Structure 1
């Protein structure tokens, strides 16, 4: 997959985007591009989810930018092995909000909070 194949980009703002890159890599995201400002902060980053889709993010800068003031966000990551992604997220510092369970509507899923309080649901259910 290349960045041009991605049609949906979820956008987030982090208090410490550098620290979050470690967490994002631990759960399976891969870096496509990361741009820094003159102070060395992440101004804009594009990371890809292996099953499709991408995430754009940067450091909260307090300058009223497009990502400023979003507060905690939520994302759903669809994957073939949600248990391993869930375990990797917890191992990288996430807090379990909803443990992994088989869902009545199909698939398996659970939810964690990342180190900055954003909600990440991980599951095998692919909405149609």
Structure 2
């Protein structure tokens, strides 16, 4: 386990109603599985999952459960910085996302757009890297 805190990385965390649908969503938009731990008694329940974004950071999620440390955290919102926001946006829509704001050039720099995923979480994809 790395303890280097000189590199800042964000792991957005939320709970989901349908973990298998979220896994498919994350895979479709370019995340890769780092770890997924399922309930042995009910494999449809994800106790804890970590899915990494190729540029750094990632998503942590689990199935909605009363005993979860992340109970009640979804839906949420995330801004994903990517060199190709059009491709990420198009993949998100193709995977079942609902367009909130089409991808356009932004006045403050970069390009970006946003969708809601099937769980109702708001995802913005953009090339603008906040300082």
- Specify the TM-score bucket, using the shorter chain as the normaliser: over 0.9
Structure 1, unpaired ranges of 5+: none
| Number of residue pairs the alignment of both structures matches | 125
2:49 to 45, 54, 60: 45
Contact map agreement 2:13 2:73 (CA 8 A) in 1? no
2:77 counterpart residue number: 74
1:58 counterpart residue number: 62
Deviations along 1:59-113, one digit per CA (max 9) or x if unpaired, are 102x142211123100000000000000000000000000001000000000100
1:31 counterpart residue number: 33
The alignment's TM-score, normalised by the length of structure 1, stands at: 0.92
Structure 2, unpaired ranges of 5+: none
> SS of 1:34's equivalent?
strand
2:111 to 92, 104, 108: 108
2:123 counterpart residue number: 120
1:10 counterpart residue number: 12
2:86 to 83, 102, 112: 83
> SS of 1:85's equivalent?
helix
